[in-house]
Amino acid sequence: MAVHAHKPRLDPATLRDLSQDGEGPRLLDVRTPGEFRTAHIPGSYNVPLDTLREHRAELLHHLDEDVILICRSGARAAQAEQALAEAGLPHLRVLDGGVMAWETTGGPLVPALALLGGLPMTVAVGTSLLVISMKSFAGLAGYLAGMHIDWGFAALVTATAVVGSVIGGLLAGRIPQDALRKSFGWFVAVMGVFVLSQQISSDLRHTLLTSPWTWASVAAASGVAFSWYMLRNAERTRSLTNDVSAPSIEENAPAVHHPTGEHTVHSSGTAPSPHDV
pLDDT in tens, 16-44: 888 776 567 889 999 998 888 778 888 88
Q: What is the pLDDT of residue 23?
A: 67
pLDDT in tens, 135-177: 667 666 766 666 677 888 889 989 998 998 888 777 767 777 7
Confidence at 183, pLDDT banded by 50, 70, 90: confident
Class of domain 12-104: alpha beta
* CA separation for the pair 155, 171 (Å, rounded): 24
Percent of the chain with pLDDT over 70: 68
Reduced to 3 states (helix: H, G, I; strand: E, B; else coil), residue 48 is coil
Q: What is the pLDDT of residue 262?
A: 44
Long-range CB pairs of 41-50 (<8 Å, 24+ gap) are 41/70, 41/99, 41/102, 41/107, 41/108, 41/109, 41/110, 42/108, 42/109, 42/110, 43/19, 44/70, 49/76, 49/79, 49/80
Bridging pattern class, strands 26-29 and 92-94:
unpaired
Domain positions in the chain are 12-104, 170-215
pLDDT in tens, 37-86: 778 888 888 999 988 878 877 777 777 678 999 999 989 999 999 988 88
Q: What is the pLDDT of residue 117?
A: 57
Closest C-alpha among 116, 131, 137 to residue 33 = 116
* CA separation for the pair 196, 193 (Å, rounded): 5
Q: What is the pLDDT of residue 148?
A: 73
pLDDT in tens, 209-244: 788 887 888 888 888 878 887 887 777 777 767 655
Which residues contact residue 43 at a Cβ distance below 8 angstroms, ignoring those fewer than 6 apart? 19, 24, 27
